[in-house]
Chain A
Amino acid sequence: MTTVLVLTGIGFACAALIYFMHIVLPHKVQGLEKTEEIANTLPGMNCGACGYPGCFAYAQALTKNPDLISESPCAVMLQDAEGLERLGKILGVSIDAAGMSKRALIHCNGSSEVVYDYSGVRTCKAATQLLKGYKKCPYACLGFGDCLEVCPQGAIYMDDEKEIAVVDTEECTGCGLCVTECPQKLIELVPEGTKIAFLCNYKPLKNIPGREKCDFGCIHCRKCYKACEFEAVVWNKEKAIPEFDIEKCTLCHKCIDECPNGTLADFTRVKTAAQAL
């Protein structure tokens, strides 16, 4: 009988304690209401692409400095006009999404020959450390897919035949995580409306013993430059590569057709273009 009483007593005492604590403790963390509100608008995937360790940390930074949204915008939010508007209201700033949205572009068409076998850890990072990878071009995409691993959208996939990574431009939000991950540094963020993709990570390549320039990269023939009727192709003399003017380009595909090596592709169709090459 005493046992029952004692146990019941303990039970009630604990219940009282829990109830008391429930009343005493604040339900909302004070001073963080705004941050929480911001965090609720953010995508909440904690991808870390903004440079902060997760969405809540980003929200905290935004609370302190609302202008941050234009300096280092949340790439995922930029895809969502409605959410962006809501966020702008909370922050009290107007957000101009146009021009900020980016897409990742992998500057390689993957046709570089393989010059030696590689055994070791099968990641790009590891392979780059050993003589810059196993392909003829030391700047080529190695195709072990380090970028696949970090992409929060799953927008990068492997082209098994060519052993390169390809970005699905529709899925990509331009967060830039792959850009920092790629040890070959061949991913670049380009404006969302880019029309022509330049698929070569050309760097001035002298005759490296055992390695010549990739046969499928840009050979600086300027054919694309000459072919364009709308002056949309600008020749970068310093790097000896073409650059493309988004405004003037009409996507007539003339430059793509003219390119002898298939280094150019329709950006919106990089996915299919890479497969077709």
Chain B
Amino acid sequence: MNFKLNWRGTSYGVKLPEAKLTAVSPIERAPLPEKVIITLHQNIGAPCKPLVKRGDKVLTGQKIGDSEKFVSAPVHATISGEISGTTMLVHPATGQLVEALIISSDGTDEWVVPEAKDAIDTLSVEEILKRIREAGIVGLGGAAFPTQVKLSPPKDKRIDTVILNGCECEPYITSDHRVMLEYGREVLSGLNIIRKVLSPDNMYIAIEDNKQDAIEHVRKLLASMKLDRNCKIVTLKSKYPMGAEKTLIQNILAREVPIGGLPMDVGVVVHNVSTARAIHDAVSERKPFIERVVTVTGAVKEPKNLLVRLGTPLRDLIENCGGIDGEANEIILGGPMMGISQFDLGFPVIKGTNCILLKKSMQSKEGDCISCGRCLDACPMSLMPTMLVKYAKAGRYDACKEAYIADCFECGACAYACPANIPIVQYIKIAKSELIKRAAKK
């Protein structure tokens, strides 16, 4: 079933070059790494406290860090071996130093004894949520918000719609695309579990129109799994940032999440397809979340979709793809739009890493704003990025706040379109952190 788009203007957003180099490469399992680095803070929420100490033997899937806070997710050992030390890493998203555990592999990949599998139908909602939490699942689209929090809305908020997000609107990344094609059954089973938890009226699977094969595949699976009665596939125009939670809700349901609100305020929950797969693994297979599909692409000899253990250093993955090709001087964790630069190949894959992109930078100088208004046209949140930059440059952070800076989710469409090449997103980030600092002071 195709839906007519209901968007107040498909003129928002930007059309990006797709560069999906790995759209037809099947997912390959990466060899076991010799050592993994597990950061104790991988998601939005509270950091974990280590449960093991140096010299301890750990098994694959063993919980090695946890937190008591509600908004948090535990971390697990992703290979078996010995905790050989701790280290500090700069968390790519927050810029803060976080503690990390290093596990040296014993080469056996011995798993913890899995708990008994049982039929999903017999499980209570609490049990499912507990299993999701214990497996350490976070939103795999990039934001890494703990999944069980999203699945436990407050009592007064009824969730009537679940959207499964398979848009993957960023260039280069193909991990969700391949997951839909190769783990479609698991994805839909995960969706079924989400349905059991939230019992929504409608479910949608949103896929961009540049992934026709995935649309066909998922449609067939839906029919064969008899889920097609209350789950529809929505084909969306491929445009950036189509896959962002809020634009997706606007596009499919013509609802707008209120300013400063969450999708659950309008009765919607959006989950990424890879998250659905992880939910299936956690609840049905009782496997903690220790591996994910990562697209290694850009200036590598053979771009690949790799199924890797979390904590694998980037170096291993790049070597697996034949090493660096050409004059790349940027390593980007995530896609080219919202990804964050790294300078060290020793940095590990963390839960939110969906792509490793190597590319040659396009350095050019920041110019003066010519008020062309391209950023306004690009902004999916209908903000005025150029005004935010002007205020941020002048240190008028309160004015930024009044111009709804908090609603910006830093998709980068404005900076992509800016003819003067102003690093709009960076200015916005500075203003945001300054506002947080000021709020904390008061």
A210-B343 contact given A129-B95, A132-B90, CB 8 Å threshold: yes
Residues of A within 8 Å of B430, CB to CB, are 121, 123, 125-126, 129
* Cα-based distance from A206 to B347 in the complex (angstroms): 15
Residues of B within 8 Å of A115, CB to CB, are 343
B423 touches A209 (CB 8 A): no
B241 CB to closest chain A CB (Å) equals: 21
| Binary contact track A114-141/B, C-beta < 8 Å → 1, others 0 | 0111011101011011111000001000
Nearest opposing residue in chain A for B389, CB measure = A121
| Binary contact track A200-223/B, C-beta < 8 Å → 1, others 0 | 000001111111000000000000
Residues of A within 8 Å of B346, CB to CB, are 209-210
Residues of A within 8 Å of B89, CB to CB, are 208-209
| Binary contact track A168-210/B, C-beta < 8 Å → 1, others 0 | 0000000000000000000000000000000000000111111
| Binary contact track B61-93/A, C-beta < 8 Å → 1, others 0 | 000000000000000000000000011111010
Majority DSSP secondary structure for residues of A touching B: loop
**Residues 185 to 232 of chain B near chain A (Cβ within 8 Å):** none
Selected from A117, A131, A206, the residue in CB contact (under 8 A) with B90 is A131
Chain B residues bordering chain A, tally (CB within 8 A): 27
Answer whether residue B429 sits at the interface, using C-beta atoms and an 8 A cutoff. yes
Majority DSSP secondary structure for residues of B touching A: mixed
B1 CB to closest chain A CB (Å) equals: 44
Answer whether residue B404 sits at the interface, using C-beta atoms and an 8 A cutoff. no
Nearest opposing residue in chain A for B86, CB measure = A206
B333 CB to closest chain A CB (Å) equals: 11
A276 CB to closest chain B CB (Å) equals: 31
B426 touches A138 (CB 8 A): no
* Cα-based distance from A169 to B88 in the complex (angstroms): 35
A121 touches B423 (CB 8 A): yes
**Residues 92 to 148 of chain A near chain B (Cβ within 8 Å):** 115-117, 119-121, 123, 125-126, 128-132, 138
Selected from B37, B92, B97, B423, the residue in CB contact (under 8 A) with A120 is B423
Answer whether residue B250 sits at the interface, using C-beta atoms and an 8 A cutoff. no
Answer whether residue B265 sits at the interface, using C-beta atoms and an 8 A cutoff. no
Nearest opposing residue in chain A for B314, CB measure = A209
B363 touches A121 (CB 8 A): no
Residues of A within 8 Å of B368, CB to CB, are none
Residues of A within 8 Å of B152, CB to CB, are none
Residues of B participating in the A interface, judged by any CB pair closer than 8 Å: 37, 86-90, 92, 95, 97, 329, 340-344, 346-347, 361, 363, 366, 423, 426-427, 429-430, 433-434
14 residue pairs A–B, Cβ–Cβ below 8 Å: A119-B361, A123-B430, A125-B434, A126-B427, A126-B429, A129-B429, A130-B340, A132-B97, A206-B86, A206-B87, A207-B88, A209-B37, A209-B87, A210-B347
